[in-house]
Amino acid sequence: MSLNQILQRLADPAQNHQLLKIKRGVEKESLRTTNNGFISINPHPEALGSALTHPSITTDFSEALLEFITAPYKNISELLNELDDIHRFVHAQIGEELLWVNSMPCQIKADTDIPIANFGESNVGKMKHIYRIGLGHRYGRSMQTIAGIHYNFSVPDPIWHLIATFRKPGLSFKDIKTDGYFGLIRNFRRSAWLLNYLLGATPSVCGSFVDGKTHKLALLNDKKSFFSPYATSLRMGDLGYQSEAQASLNITYNDLQSYTRSLKAALRKSHPKYSVVGLKDDSGHLKQLNTNLLQIENEFYSEIRPKQPTKSGESPMQALLGRGVEYVEIRCLDLDPFTLLGIDSTTIRFLDTFLLSCLLSESPLSNEHEQCEIVHNKNLSVYQGRNPLLHLHYRGQSISLKEWGRKILTDLQPIASLLDSAHGGNAYESALAKMFTRLEQPALTPSARVIDEMNTHNESYIQFGIRWAKQHAENFKARGPDEALFAKQRDIAKASSIKQKKIELSDHLSFEQYLEQYYLQ
């Protein structure tokens, strides 16, 4: 498939409008904190409904770690409006608590102070809770309170039909889409380091987060904050969602079969460290779902995932194998503390451009050497991304980050132009231009701005976070939910609580039977 051929076809007015049907959705995590920057120990607010069944307001690892989920939208403004509505409603329900604006956690007195999310008494709710207990034993609870933005992206079927005309005949439509999304994933991983540089906003952490941990950070301003001078996204490095056990996994993205085969092996392989943790405590309560390398497939931490919506009782892997890939989930995005929602339209338009390029460009299969290069480049970009002398590895050669970044952004220009042709105006090219500016002027990146503000205000990491969290809270509370929005959210919350009770009443298996049946998939 030739990129130029595809671009020429998409430039045709008869096809160009299909770009208006690209869908994107956002899952945004935020910690609830006290007004002095400590993690909240209060349970999930009852007014927010059931964390198990609410379609747009749930919790992740902790009771304090809220997750807001939008529907998939073709229109960016509508997506951001829904996310804004959720924020306004939630702020009206959490009293004096704040929503933490940073991806790295707030102040935490002790790991055991972090309340693990509770999802009720149903089998599925118990499984979610015990899975999180296991995560706490395996990686520590504080690591599980790291927040981020997950960005879901898909293109419409007519674009896949267009792509199919350039593919070898004989593939089913499902396989064309699945292979195409895996091609996107490979290209994304090759250049995801650029997203760390351009969008990373975690160059610093609270001292409580690294207390007792081995790290290579320096003190900043006081004894309570640590940073790395050129860091971009510490969340994506060895202080974030990384683990020694998962480093041994050889997950490949060359096709669906090899990907799921790698995950299946990890789901079945016992891990010595987790065997030491044990399956149950002295009271007979489960400490984890199992002692395998992965309890469930979602435990595998990756910057991007192939996704297929699951049906009731279905595992993500079963959904993928049965119906192929429907969209991709980008998981390497930090919350942007300088934006009200943690993400804005500029970032969304850049991501759309970047991801569409990853999809339409040639994507050769990856090998072990390239896998090592990808990890190498990611780690360098996390700690040294804004270092003007930084070089990365590109096809066995050394190349400066700026030179490679310019090449990637330049290649995105025709894509941005096509998207602007479809939408009208120049918003996509403008978003790309802003990223060019960040590449040439590192001081304009979110990570550099965080350090600059902490220095300018002589703030600790926590003081910086509180200042921006209070500023955002004032904005949301000043625009509190009107009667219609409040009634809508109240009804959704009530319906979710009723749905949870129905699930609990409908269980007919013991939890042990339920778990056995789940793993038989």
Of residues 1, 8, 119, the one with CA closest to residue 415 = 8
When the pLDDT of each residue in the chain is averaged and rounded to a whole number, the result is 95
pLDDT given at position 247:
73
Helix (H) or strand (E) holding 387: none
Percent of the chain with pLDDT over 90: 90
Q: 476-487 burial by CB neighbour count: b if 16+ within 10 A, else e?
A: beeeebeeeeee
pLDDT given at position 300:
93
What residue type is 106 in one-letter code?
C
Q: What is the mean pLDDT of residues 425-437?
A: 98
What is the Cα–Cα distance from 518 to 279, expressed in whole angstroms? 17
At the top level of CATH, the class of 23-393+444-520 is alpha beta
Q: What is the mean pLDDT of residues 177-193?
A: 97
pLDDT given at position 222:
73
Percent of the chain with pLDDT over 70: 99
Question: 212 vs 412, which has greater pLDDT?
Answer: 412
| C-beta neighbour count of 457 within 10 angstroms | 12
pLDDT given at position 252:
85
What is the Cα–Cα distance from 40 to 34, expressed in whole angstroms? 6
Contacts of 189 (CB under 8 A, 6+ apart): 253, 303, 304, 366, 374
Three-state SS for 358-369 is: HHHCCCCCCCHH
pLDDT given at position 312:
81
pLDDT given at position 168:
66
- What 262-270 contacts at long range (C-beta under 8 Å, 24+ apart), as own/partner pairs, is 263/294, 263/297, 263/300, 263/317, 264/317, 266/292, 266/293, 266/294, 266/300, 267/292, 267/293, 267/294, 267/296, 267/297, 268/292, 269/293
Confidence of residue 313 (pLDDT cuts 50, 70, 90): confident
Residue 86 predicted with pLDDT over 60: yes
